[in-house]
Homo-oligomer: A and B are copies of this chain.
Amino acid sequence: MATETEETREDGRRTRGRKTRASILDMAADLASVDGLEGLSIGRLAVATGMSKSGLFAHFGSKEELQVATYFHARERFLAEVILPPREFEPGRERVDALVAGWLRYMRTEVFRGGCFFSEVRTEFGSREDGPVRQVVVKGTLRWLDLLARELDALPGDRDVEQLAFEIDALGTAANYRFQLLQDPAVFDQAAAAISARLD
């Protein structure tokens, strides 16, 4: 029964469904970057997207699935905005610099409405009881730290890349929370300076 048209489907849905689903998740990631994934409510999300609560809900079987889907969707945006562009460079200092610069720009320009989506959900789910959403957050965080370490590994000289990745992540994340809280973009200069010093 696997006709050719069925293969073009994704998630049992076709074009229209996929598009609205994507636009829902766009909005969801924005809202969650402000209020967190737990603070995200289906009612408010429905109002924000101009849909009915039930019509929106039908795209996801439960709030939990919505949260997971939102996380993955946010990661796609992060990939396109921060991770992929530096790949035009060979591994090495130039690429690391591009990655760091893109990361800080992503925070400063508020690609997500409330700043870094991942910084928000990491602290949100840090101490929450375990579950599918928390596990996705943990996995995603490990992936990011690992990617960072691998990029640093291409740098000349032998450094402790785990340690270095820890420090760089710390400095960027702190810049994000301070920018959100205090509105002063100067923190990005502080972060950039500290990271550069660490890389030299």
Contacts and interface: CB of A to CB of B under 8 A. Distances in A.
B181 A138 contact: yes
A137 B180 CA distance: 12
A163 to B, nearest CB: 6
Contacts of A141: 178, 181-182
Given A123-B123, A126-B115, A194 B166 contact: yes
A128 interface: yes
B138 A163 contact: no
Interface residues of A, number: 42
Contact of A190 (B114, B122, B166, B194): B166
Given A114-B126, A127-B113, A194 B177 contact: no
Interface stretch (A71-79, A80-88, A89-97, A168-176): A168-176
Interface of A (DSSP majority class): helix
A166 B177 contact: no
Interface in A112-170: 113-115, 119-120, 122-128, 137-138, 141-142, 162-163, 166-167, 169-170
Interface in A168-200: 169-171, 173-175, 177-178, 180-182, 187, 190-191, 193-194
Interface of A: 33-36, 38-39, 113-115, 119-120, 122-128, 137-138, 141-142, 162-163, 166-167, 169-171, 173-175, 177-178, 180-182, 187, 190-191, 193-194
